[in-house]
Homo-oligomer: A and B are copies of this chain.
Amino acid sequence: MLVVMQHGATQAQIDRVARVIEEMGYQARPMPGEQRTAVGLVGNDGRVDASRIEALEGVAEVIHVSKPYKQVSREWQPQNTVVTIAPGVSFGGHDVAIIAGPCSVESEHQIVTAARAVRAAGASALRGGAFKPRSSPYAFQGLGKKGLEMLAVAKRETGLPIVTEALDEEGAHLVAEIADCIQIGARNMQNYSLLRAVGRIGKPVLLKRGMAATITDLLMSAEYILAEGNSQVILCERGIRSFDTTTRNLFDLTAIPVVQKLSHLPMIADPSHGTGLRDKVTPMARAAIAAGADGVIVEVHPTPDRALSDGGQSLYPEQFARLVTEIRAIASAIGRSVLPTPGTAPVTVG
């Protein structure tokens, strides 16, 4: 940590900063400059409360040199964490994984039909919401526990592992009973009670980036889960807020290589929420893989124009099948391949 003093700070003010740093148990290293003095804090263990120092007289600014996160960082663990949500379904290794399915579980027929279609096309896992965070209290909120039971049927029928969202601690326990990976949505990325709860449950977690979350914020939220002893965390870029509302969100694909350099956790992308527009899902899923994403999560509905939520950004099954073919070609172009569908032999591109 570097404490930059104001131009014209007195020696007494500089000494006071050094004294407070030492009272806090660290070493102070003053560094006089041409225009102003800075005081380095040596020994930062990530628990330094900068605001105490910011409040001292003569301090212009406190600059953080160390990163605030620990266990999620590559400095803590240099090699990739590979998160395995079911036998043969891993994120963060050589292969890229494809999670697909409808926004919401609407009926047993719908989810089983969707599961069969995405499995046939090459998906590695099934998504589908039973608990839905909707911006309107009057909109369809998901089938809840019944929806989870329908997901269990779809899993039995197709062998696809299940990724589904939990909105609160009680729901997380219900989800953990049937799902293979608990999703924490963008709106709950800083719901720390929920993050701690899924940390304790210990199942793999898919953590989506919040709409106003910096990359540091995303990693700090993952840190909450790891701090509870659960390192099975998959991160997901799904678009952030920007001033251009042409697309539903601004899909920040640069976040993929940025996170992969800073952290050992796998990072996937959600082009359905990232763009909000069906005809942009395919090019942006390709782009995500080309940028190095460890997988994608895509909305696919058997009949999008009858969907109870997000129909406008869901792919038709035949569009999804073409998308998988394109993803295979892109993965192959960068020396990776697509994870084989669970229970099948690997597919290779000639």
Count of chain copies:
4
* A residues neighboring B (CB under 8 Å): 2, 4, 7-8, 20, 29, 31-36, 38, 40, 42-47, 49-52, 54-56, 61, 63, 65-66, 68-70, 75, 133-140, 167-169, 171, 187-188, 190-194, 196, 210-212, 214-217, 220-221, 223-224, 227, 240-247, 250-254, 256-258, 261, 274-275, 277-280, 283-284, 286-292, 304-314, 326, 329-330, 332-334
Q: Are B278 and A283 in contact (CB under 8 A)?
A: no
Name, among A4, A138, A227, A307, the residue most crowded by chain B CB atoms within 10 Å (CB to CB).
A138
Closest residue on chain B to residue A211 by CB atoms: B212
Name, among A7, A33, A69, A274, the residue most crowded by chain B CB atoms within 10 Å (CB to CB).
A33
* CA distance in complex: A303, B240 (Å): 36
Q: Please pick, from B55, B75, B217, B292, the residue contacting A35 in the complex, using a CB distance under 8 A.
A: B75
Q: In the assembled complex, which residues on chain B have CB atoms less than 8 Å from the CB atom of A224?
A: 137
Q: How far is the CB of A16 from chain B (nearest CB, A)?
A: 10
For the A-B complex with A52-B312, A135-B221 known, give 11 more contacts whose Cβ atoms are closer than 8 Å. Answer: A32-B42, A34-B45, A38-B40, A51-B312, A55-B314, A137-B196, A171-B193, A187-B191, A187-B192, A188-B190, A289-B290
Q: Are A257 and B283 in contact (CB under 8 A)?
A: yes
Q: Are B287 and A51 in contact (CB under 8 A)?
A: no
